[in-house]
A and B are shown apart, each in its own frame.
Chain A
Amino acid sequence: MPRGMKIILAILAVAVVVGLVSLGTLQRRVQRLRQSQTAEEQARHAVLAPPISTPSDVSVKAQIFWSGGADKIAPVPLNLPLSADPVQRSRQLIQALIANPPSDAQRTLPADTTLLAFYILPDGTAIADFSDAFSSEMPSGILSEEMAVNSIARTLESNVDGLRRLKILIKGQEVDTLAGNVDLTGFFDLNSNLGVVPTAPNASKKGSQEVFGDACGVH
């Protein structure tokens, strides 16, 4: 074998060894980058939606409704510290719904969604005010939008007593649709077995301006 060929083969062998070594380093670097992205997302959530804890928190097995397949939602039992106050309890549940899906495939609300405010009116109407990401990052379609709304409605009605209906706002405003299909101008029934929603005169007896708990977040 000529000497030149030997030199070329030696250089190639060294290059292969160096490539193999750097491949491992590259993999570790990619993994580190992924972890930092997740940490970044967690940090963003911690700032935008800090965990809610109240003195009356008790650890309970809550039923959170995430995606249970491509076209349905299903309850997932989850141990959560939940407040006795219905407003704080609802906020804790919705935050868990957004932040803690068992897998990305089971997510029903966009990851960047933030609950800006939550109120409960005396007639049992729950008002949930979400950030713009809930609408802008929601995949368009009747199925996906309906699953998102249903996951919120079923999670609330399974874990909070006395709620009759749900109103969804985006950045404090009533919007036409969630992502082009599902109507957000009306109300969504909760606990329909509780009967007809009380009318305004009944509500006024208790004080129609009264709001259970405090508004949270931006408002």
Chain B
Amino acid sequence: MRLQVDPKAPRPALVSPLGGAHRIISAILCAVRNSVFSITLLLFLAQAVFVLAAPTVQSFQEGQPQPPPPQEQPSVPAPPGAPAPAPPPAGPLIVLDPAHGGTDSGARGEGGLAEKDIVLQIARTVRAQLERQGYRVLMTRSDDSNPSYDDRTALANAHRDVIFISLHVASTGVPGTVRAYYEQMSSAAIEPSATTTPRSRSFPRRPSNTLIVWEQAQRPYLEASHHLADLIQLQLAQSFSASPVTSTAAAVRTLRSIMGPAVAIEISSISGSSRDVLTGSGGPLSAAIARGISALRPSSAEVK
């Protein structure tokens, strides 16, 4: 049997077995689809308006300080029934960097004195005192580890509104003196246009939408770092007699990539002082650091 199709014969109309019900269902589906689209569109527009009006984005675009980033939890938990914790403080985040660590002992003195141990102990003292004064503080290491220069830098650069303080003990120098250093970059590496303006001396703007060379990230903050180092050095000269009254420029490796005011402080010296004398300098050192930072940027407590 062969099937034959007559091309001239009229084609049968496609008729749904549901008839009129199909049209009703299609209309309902279409209406639902349109309303879902409308709601999505409305939500998108609302989100866009919210994002544009949000202060974080606005301040980011204007290079203004950001709200404080998540910080370390306080070491002592709040007792039950205690009042609600105070809101996170504003003001700069102080990153303390005890130099060296692990297999890198740094400067070595008599009787097994090692720079890495002394600076860690001093950093703990400085941290406690700064926190008491209302500053938020982070440390690049809190044990005998040795994070790389880039790891230390990355920890600081992960936060906005950071002040970086690297702590050292020298092998040489007049015992009992302390020096503050700020980064010195070769003039060949400094583009005049990239330096900070007088307006931004104490609070330089973090570039918002430009690529930054990691090795020269400190460059826009050189003036602020110099200013902070001078402020701290002035305080140090009062606490540690025979210390210079002005800070020193030096190519300190730890400072070159920090995106914020960065200072290295070095105590002299491990060869002419005992452990107690060196670690005992933590108190006056933290007072000098706090006063220097306070002159540059007041803490939240001082703002209030």
Q: Is A197 a contact of B172 with CB atoms below 8 Å?
A: no
108-163 of chain A: CB within 8 A of chain B: 139-144, 146-147, 149
Q: Is A196 a contact of B173 with CB atoms below 8 Å?
A: no
Chain B contact residues: helix, strand, loop or mixed: mixed
Q: Is B172 a contact of A141 with CB atoms below 8 Å?
A: yes
Known contacts being A140-B115, A176-B253, is A186 close to B173, with CB within 8 Å?
no
Nearest A residue (CB) for B192: A196
Interfacial chain B residues near A176, Cβ < 8 Å: 149, 253
Encode A48-63 as 1/0 by CB contact (under 8 A) with B: 0000000000000000
The listed residue (B107, B187, B253) touching A192 by CB distance below 8 A is B187
Interfacial chain A residues near B104, Cβ < 8 Å: 180
Question: CA separation between A42 and B254, bound complex, in Å?
Answer: 38
152-190 of chain A: CB within 8 A of chain B: 165, 176-177, 180-189
Nearest A residue (CB) for B251: A183
Q: Assess whether A47 is interfacial by the CB under 8 Å rule.
A: no
Which of B115, B168, B251, B254 has the most chain A CB within a 10 Å cutoff? B251
Q: Is B168 a contact of A165 with CB atoms below 8 Å?
A: no
Min CB gap A72→B, angstroms: 10
The listed residue (B172, B251, B254) touching A144 by CB distance below 8 A is B172
Question: CA separation between A184 and B256, bound complex, in Å?
Answer: 12
Q: Assess whether B185 is interfacial by the CB under 8 Å rule.
A: yes
Interfacial chain A residues near B115, Cβ < 8 Å: 140
Min CB gap B9→A, angstroms: 85
Interfacial chain B residues near A142, Cβ < 8 Å: 168, 170, 179, 181, 250, 252, 264, 266
117-175 of chain B: CB within 8 A of chain A: 149, 168-174
Interfacial chain B residues near A182, Cβ < 8 Å: 250-253
54-89 of chain A: CB within 8 A of chain B: 70-71
Min CB gap B39→A, angstroms: 57
Nearest B residue (CB) for A185: B215
The number of chain A residues touching the other chain, given as a range, is: 20 to 34
Min CB gap B171→A, angstroms: 3
Min CB gap B187→A, angstroms: 5
Interfacial chain A residues near B286, Cβ < 8 Å: none
Q: Is A177 a contact of B179 with CB atoms below 8 Å?
A: no
Q: Is A187 a contact of B107 with CB atoms below 8 Å?
A: no
Min CB gap A149→B, angstroms: 8
Interfacial chain B residues near A146, Cβ < 8 Å: 248, 250-251
Count the A-B residue pairs with Cβ separation under 8 angstroms: how many?
97
Q: Is A141 a contact of B269 with CB atoms below 8 Å?
A: yes
Question: CA separation between A141 and B264, bound complex, in Å?
Answer: 11
Q: Is A143 a contact of B172 with CB atoms below 8 Å?
A: yes
Question: CA separation between A147 and B188, bound complex, in Å?
Answer: 22
268-287 of chain B: CB within 8 A of chain A: 268-269
Interfacial chain A residues near B186, Cβ < 8 Å: 165, 186-189, 197
Which of A146, A187, A197 has the most chain B CB within a 10 Å cutoff? A146
Interfacial chain B residues near A177, Cβ < 8 Å: 253
The listed residue (A143, A188, A192) touching B170 by CB distance below 8 A is A143
Interfacial chain A residues near B253, Cβ < 8 Å: 176-177, 181-183, 185
Interfacial chain A residues near B169, Cβ < 8 Å: 141
Encode B185-196 as 1/0 by CB contact (under 8 A) with A: 111110000000
Q: Is A141 a contact of B173 with CB atoms below 8 Å?
A: yes
Min CB gap A56→B, angstroms: 31
Q: Is A186 a contact of B106 with CB atoms below 8 Å?
A: no
Q: Assess whether B177 is interfacial by the CB under 8 Å rule.
A: yes
Min CB gap A141→B, angstroms: 4
257-273 of chain B: CB within 8 A of chain A: 264, 266, 268-269
Q: Is B188 a contact of A197 with CB atoms below 8 Å?
A: yes
Q: Is B173 a contact of A71 with CB atoms below 8 Å?
A: yes
Q: Is B187 a contact of A180 with CB atoms below 8 Å?
A: no
Min CB gap B43→A, angstroms: 51
Q: Is A183 a contact of B171 with CB atoms below 8 Å?
A: no
Q: Is A70 a contact of B189 with CB atoms below 8 Å?
A: no
Q: Is B256 a contact of A183 with CB atoms below 8 Å?
A: yes
Question: CA separation between A147 and B173, bound complex, in Å?
Answer: 11
Min CB gap B113→A, angstroms: 12
The listed residue (B99, B185, B187, B268) touching A71 by CB distance below 8 A is B268
Interface residues of chain A, those whose CB is within 8 Å of chain B, are 70-71, 139-144, 146-147, 149, 165, 176-177, 180-189, 192, 196-197
Contact sample, A vs B, 24 pairs, CB 8 Å cutoff = A71-B172, A71-B173, A71-B179, A140-B107, A140-B108, A140-B171, A141-B171, A142-B168, A142-B170, A142-B252, A143-B171, A143-B173, A147-B172, A180-B106, A182-B252, A183-B251, A183-B253, A183-B256, A185-B253, A186-B185, A186-B256, A187-B186, A189-B186, A192-B187
Question: Nearest 5 pairs between A and B by C-beta?
Answer: A139-B171, A141-B170, A183-B251, A183-B253, A187-B186
